[in-house]
Amino acid sequence: MLKTKDILDEKNKLLRTISEEVTFPLSDKDKKTIDLMVEYLTNSQIDELAGKYNLRPGMGMAAIQLGIKKRYITIVHEVEEGVFDTYIVINPKIVSSSEEKIYVEDGEGCLSVNREVIGIVPRSARVTVEGFDIDGKKIRIRAREELAIVFQHEIDHLNGILFTDHIDSKNPFKYQNIYRSI
């Protein structure tokens, strides 16, 4: 079982590297890592388990956050109480995005950023992501709102970008009156 301490902190320079494309078939080690990522994200969103195992809540995780320089992400999205949609995307790419921009009203968070960060992170309200499933089959996902934000956040990780990079340091709330909050 993954623990919160297994996730790299923002001070780790590895988080600033660009992850490498994955080749198929996936190794057993990568498949096991993906299972652990999904387990962590699911358990972290169930209050009882998050408390029991001392897990910081999260919806998404990129392999690089575990020190693995490979282009894969996992997202566990709670669609209703206790019901989750799980996305595993290998070599994900955003192939289209809306012009409409949104931001998380309470601020974005990250399992690798262990501090309070204020400011607006502009994101596309809708994205289409292409990549591959764990068997190497091509997949295409259309995501809106919260899910779109998570896809953008996790794909940023694969490119060495943290959400804090998107916040205007001189004016953290610069886009508050321009973009829609969710």
What is the amino acid identity at position 43? N
- Single-letter amino acid code for the residue at 133: D
pLDDT in tens, 76-116: 999 998 899 999 999 999 999 999 999 999 999 999 999 99
What the chain holds in terms of domains, given with CATH numbers, is 4-181 (3.90.45.10)
Please give the positions annotated as active site: 154
Joined tokens for residue 44: 């972290």
**Contact assessment for residue 40 and residue 5, using Cβ atoms and an 8 Å cutoff:** no
- Total-model pTM: 0.96
Neighbours of 165 (CB within 10 A): 11
- What the block records as the tokens of 57 is 């809540």
Could you read off the pLDDT of 32-74 as tens digits, one per residue? 999 999 999 999 999 999 999 999 999 999 999 999 999 999 9
Nearest by Cα to 15 from 67, 60, 57, 58: 67
Handedness of CA 6, 33, 73, 103 (dihedral sign): negative
